[in-house]
Structure 1
Amino acid sequence: MQRITIAIDDDLAAELDAHMEATGAASRSEAIRDLVRRGLSGRPGAPADAGCFAVVSCAVDQSVRNLAQRVPQGRLDRHDQTISALSVPLDHTTSVEVTVMRGQVGDIAAYAEALFLERGVMHGSLGLIPIAEDTSHHVHNQGPAHAHTHLRVKSGF
């Protein structure tokens, strides 16, 4: 393990201490390591092949050449992963784009990262919700029991 020294202002140190208390981190070093890992990975603790729901959101400058067509086309290209999409106009050229997706973390994160790198896309955010699929046999109303898959939201990856 390497030792590094950083200097931060008092306000940021207070925020770090509040983060430590909220997350239960035992030390500033532990909290900073966790924050660095999250910042570098873009998908904290999530294996690339893990199943998830995801919320991809960003502000889009619609006046940037072809961006207004490329963003919806990107969702159409992933129609099997896209559950819902919302576009909210903010001013004459900017909208907030929100997409709810389902799939594997690696696929969705790659889509989000490519979108966030587009010129004219600002304030990108990716929120991941870990899920598991459980199969059970049961009866709906009448008839024989059949296999049925249920999604279950997990507390972590």
Structure 2
Amino acid sequence: MTVSRFGVSLEKDLLNALDQYVKENYFSNRSQAIRQLISRNIVEQKWQCNNQVAGSVTLVYDPNRREILHQLTDIVAQYHEEIISTQRLILNQSKHMEILAIKGVANRLTELADKLITIKGMQHGKLAMSRID
């Protein structure tokens, strides 16, 4: 792959943030970090369209809050065609992690993830997808 060079002007605060990002993510230089940030942004933009993608939704929640489990079950039933599998991990008595493997049209999977992540009381939620077409 051919590499092209170009100059970038950044405010001092943004440059400091970039350098911190390089350090925290163990990039060997700023160029690697910028390439990764641009690539991730392009992939995330593609999520909002009709591309075929596969991915996962990771959720962390308190299983003792029954309303979370009921809503989770209802949403999963609505999207049964997009959900390939689910796995529930018991982290401790008050914290479970659920991982849903998903496949389908990007905007539909984003909609699914948004519904799951925004369930009242959900402690953490994360969507990850990759284009497959």
Q: Answer whether TM exceeds 0.5 for this pair.
A: yes
How many aligned residue pairs are there? 123
| Distance apart, 1:55 and its partner CA | 0.8
1:5 to 2:9 alignment: no
- Unaligned ranges ≥5, structure 1: 133-157
| Distance apart, 1:33 and its partner CA | 5.7
**Structure exhibiting the larger radius of gyration computed from Cα positions:** 1
- Relative to total residues, which structure has the larger helix share, 1 or 2? 2
Kindly indicate whether the alpha-carbon contact (under 8 Å) linking 2:57 and 2:128 is maintained by their aligned counterparts in 1: yes
Counting only pairs closer than 5 Å after superposition, residues 20-35 of structure 1 correspond to structure 2 as: 21=29, 26=31, 30=34, 34=38
Kindly indicate whether the alpha-carbon contact (under 8 Å) linking 1:20 and 1:31 is maintained by their aligned counterparts in 2: no
Q: Which amino acid aligns with 2:44?
A: P
- Relative to total residues, which structure has the larger strand share, 1 or 2? 1
User: Out of 11, 21, 24, which is 1:15 matched to?
Assistant: 24
RMSD (Å) for aligned C-alpha atoms: 3.2
**How high is the TM-score relative to the length of structure 2?**
0.71
Q: Percent identity?
A: 16
1:52 to 2:33 alignment: no
**How high is the TM-score relative to the length of structure 1?**
0.62
SS at match of 1:46: helix
Higher relative CO (CA 8 A, sep ≥ 6), structure 1 or 2? 2
| Distance apart, 1:114 and its partner CA | 2.6
